[in-house]
Structure 1
């Protein structure tokens, strides 16, 4: 019994020694390796751009247009007063109802992006249907405003690898957002929306608003003033995006290629 017990103790000791040595070897190996985040930084999924990696205090404000235009003239007036250019993502549903407002958006120097023809869930469409939505949307935007869009925002923020692949194949960049104002929610006050945006914003952020949110125009002026005080420059989405080679990481952040 003593001998058997002694063997067990020896074997157990050897086991712990092997584990210790393996840990030492692994530590030495990993010490010469880059951090894991660097090794797996690029997303295996195809993602839209949610924000941009930058040290500059630049942000982009964007407005989706699918319903109504009651508050849009006031939004445009405030943007004009602050000498700020932004990006409007327009659907054909909206364009057909408010062509004159769309013309005014373009005439005042704002960027126009695609937001689809009929505002469907793109993940429920075939590739052919996606292409049709994009082509029809582009045609009408250009026909009404003269603008040639280069950006696309999926309706409902709904996408998968196939959606992004089709968008890129047609030569557009898919754009999401990292700060959602939730300005379409009726129960949120102007103060709620203002605080929500300020809390989330950072260099490289893309902020989502809607052209006909009930409190959007009320929030916009104070927000632009606050951003200016904090040293931020507000630019259209395309001006915020990185030029040259880049990749989109697992969080949707556009980063320069290494």
Structure 2
């Protein structure tokens, strides 16, 4: 069984998480990108480099782009440039990638493979198998807003229809009309 702990975006508060992990001798992967996210303070390049001495640093694109919604050329640039950025800051190989918002498809996965990563994490929740290192799921997500829905790919356990709303594109491809699952919300 593989146990990992990972943290996305590179918020300055992640440094406190790293200290807590250190107290219990737990290693984490911190996926960072230089773009400010959600009006929160981000770690500096020096803080990222120091964090790399204790934990793994993974790439998370430069602008936190939804890779399935940009051109292939832009997705490739985001993936490859973020790997180079992390390696330049840390002086170490960047082996892991995390898809922003969890958005990925076969083309994006191939771009991540071609960039030289060893694996990538998704935001697929409550999955307990990882057959492909480029679609490693998340079995538990902890957010600072436990009592309300936060983003479209994440939902609260008391919201049983969240997965249907998250999968609306896939449902549409299967011919299932929106009104059928919208009523469930």
Instruction: Provide the TM-score with structure 1 as the length reference.
Output: 0.46
Runs of at least 5 residues in structure 1 that lack an aligned partner in the other structure? 1-53, 189-195, 197-258
Where do 1:137-156 residues align within 5 Å? Answer: 137-156=82-101
Of the three residues 31, 40, 51, the one matched with 1:105 is 51
Bigger share in helix: 1
- In the other structure, the counterpart of 2:30 is 88
After the TM superposition, which residues 21-100 of structure 1 pair with which residues of structure 2 at under 5 Å, given as runs?
Answer: 54=1, 58-66=2-10, 68-69=11-12, 71-93=13-35, 98-100=44-46
Relative contact order, higher structure (CA 8 A, sep 6+): 1
Aligned residues: 130
- Assess if the C-alpha contact under 8 Å between 1:64 and 1:89 holds in 2: yes
Q: What is the root-mean-square deviation in Å for CA atoms of aligned residues?
A: 2.3
Aligned to 2:141: 181
Residue 148 (structure 1) shift: 1.4
Aligned to 2:115: 170
Residue by residue, what CA displacement relative to the aligned partner does 1:157-177 show, whole Å, maximum 9, x if unpaired?
Answer: 001111111111222222223
1:159 aligns with 2:104: yes
SS at match of 2:64: coil
Q: Distance in 1 between matches of 2:146 and 2:72?
A: 35
Give 3-state SS (helix, strand or coil) of 2:86's partner: helix
C-alpha distance in 1 between matches for 2:14 and 2:98: 19
Flag as ranges the 4+ runs of structure 1 deviating above 6 A: none
Gaps of 5+ in 2: 123-136, 149-156, 158-185
**1:180-225 CA distances to partner (integer Å, 9 max, x unpaired)?**
324142647xxxxxxx8xxxxxxxxxxxxxxxxxxxxxxxxxxxxx
Question: Cα offset for 1:97?
Answer: 5.3
Q: TM-score, normalised on structure 2?
A: 0.62
